[in-house]
A and B are shown apart, each in its own frame.
Chain A
Amino acid sequence: MKISREEVLRVAQLAHLELAPEEVETYRAQLDEILAYIGKLQELDVSNVEPMTQMLPRTAGGATPADAEPELRDDVPLPCNVGGAVLAEAPDAARPFFRVPKVIER
């Protein structure tokens, strides 16, 4: 068994998910099967392999078609008057704030 019931509950808590009691075992069994399949990655020797952290391809010389440096725009402020439009989508807002349940007790 790759993953226990306790681990499923711990992961759900980390991910801010609330699971119904009957969901816990369903997810546990499914995640267990998926993790068992993913276990095949252990077959490979990756001791001398760098993780892939960049999506732009590197040639033998290290150059990419887009050059090594990303295209960056000049660091100048641009108008950004979107506060109203953004807050209009919020479930609860009091301009210029999003409103949430009280987080600080006093």
Chain B
Amino acid sequence: MSAASTWTIGSVRDALLGKKTSARELVNDFYAQIERRNPELNAFLALCPERAYAQADRVDAAIAKGQPLQPLAGVPVAIKDVISTQGVRTTCGSKILENYTPPYDATAIDRLEKAGAVVMGKTNCDEFAMGSSNENSAYGPVRNPVALDRVPGGSSGGSAAAVAAGLAVVALGTDTGGSIRQPGAYCGIPALMPTYGRVSRYGLIAFASSLDRIGPFATNIADAATVMSVIAGHDSNDSTSAAVPVPDYLAEIENPLTGLRIGVPEDYFGAGLDPEVKTKVQAGISLLERLGCKRVPLKMPHTDYAIATYYIVATAEASSNLARYDGVRYGLRVQGTTLMDMYRKTRERGFGPEVKRRIMLGTYALSSGYYDAYYLRAQKVRSLIARDFASAFEKVDAIVTPTTPTPAFKLGEKTADPLQMYLADIYTVTGSLAGVPGISVPCGTKATGLPIGMQIFGSHFDEARVLQLARAFEKAGGFSI
């Protein structure tokens, strides 16, 4: 691993306070690493040195004046390219936004920068966050830094790869059905999907509005907790963001686990689960028991219906959200003889195959004659899945499962079969549909060296519990179990 990969939020802070480096030097070093590694990884789509150096200089000036350091002062961060950055090209991994430059910053970006973070650039992702492998990016796939012939996962593959390769200390991704947790598992780093409504979606370019969430990738739990404390909280620009008080996550994560009840749903350990993944996650659960947790067997009977539900709900919302790309207000325009002709030619040229497939599936599910059978029924099954979680959390404090049934697959392995690709999200979409928070933490590797992820769900707005369990697991060596 590169020298850059050893940096954490804490070590950046110590180095800046101890005058071992400056924020400007750090930005320089990280850009040098990115220049060296990005040609093979394809993790970054755009860099923003002007903005990064300006922010670094502000941090250095504050240090020179002896001002107290902000929580993320001088920390290089990478941002998934579906999150708006004022003046920095934001493509969503799509040709339709190839030359789009947002006129404003997302709230999460604004909060990161106010906390001193240095935005280095925008990371590659599946087009409009639709995918589980990053192969749906219009700008080429990202490669997994752990094994270059493998996918990094998706859709936030660029953010995961950047952090895993030491090209950023932390990164923001977005999770709609597993797009933070699954690439976190595939690249071997912690990756947190917060509760729906915990982090403002203002400036997040919408895929499925009842599912989309912004959350952090990091190399350790303390860093994930620090980023969460900065980005979480109510925002008057997002009516779905919740006015629930945000705890000091960093202060909560060292609490002992004694007496915590962890639910283990048998439905997540059935057919299709790689035996090595199963063994490691079970070892991970035993470790949590040794740390003081009580294991509670669970049944979550609607788990098996989650993928089908998700691919109706998410595509229906996507078909509505993506109607805005019509060549009128922003992005690509392909000239046509009539307005309708222009819409159709623009969308034909601008969208890739997976996006078109999902728009069509969602349009079909919402169309007259099929609405009750598909969309309405899926929304009802979604209630049943949410109920599975609600009744589980009457008995347990957290739920522990594998993050994915298998580790990272090979590039090209699943591109010909969309349904097989969808099934890679089988353990993550449940929590997405229910709105609860979930983290993926590294849980050893296969004999081949490919990382395995263990997922911890908490109840709504209980990220603190999820992070506390993850931190105890990390401290006890669980990441390399």
Contacts and interface: CB of A to CB of B under 8 A. Distances in A.
A68 to B, nearest CB: 12
Contacts of B309: 41
Contacts of B380: 46, 49-52
Interface bin, chain B: 35 or more
A19 B326 CA distance: 16
A101 B338 contact: yes
A37 B308 contact: yes
Nearest to A38: B308
Interface string A63-85: 00111001111000000001001
B261 interface: no
A98 B330 CA distance: 10
B201 to A, nearest CB: 11
B243 interface: yes
A98 B302 CA distance: 48
Interface stretch (B69-77, B165-173, B357-365): B357-365
A27 to B, nearest CB: 6
Contacts of A92: 333
Given A82-B103, A88-B103, A100 B242 contact: no
B236 A73 contact: yes
Contact of B376 (A35, A51, A65): A51
Given A41-B308, A41-B374, A41-B381, 10 more contacts: A30-B357, A34-B422, A37-B308, A41-B305, A51-B376, A51-B379, A56-B435, A71-B243, A98-B328, A103-B338
Interface of B: 100-101, 103-104, 196-197, 210, 234, 236, 239-240, 242-244, 302, 304-305, 307-309, 311-312, 319, 323, 326-333, 335-345, 347-348, 351, 356-357, 359-361, 363-364, 367, 373-374, 376-384, 386, 390, 418-419, 422, 433, 435, 459-461
Interface of A: 3, 7-8, 10-12, 14-19, 27, 30-31, 33-35, 37-42, 44, 46, 49-53, 55-57, 65-67, 70-73, 82, 85-86, 88-92, 98, 100-101, 103
Ranked nearest first, the 9 interchain pairs of A and B with the lowest CB-CB distance are A51-B379, A91-B333, A85-B103, A46-B380, A18-B348, A71-B243, A66-B242, A18-B344, A52-B382
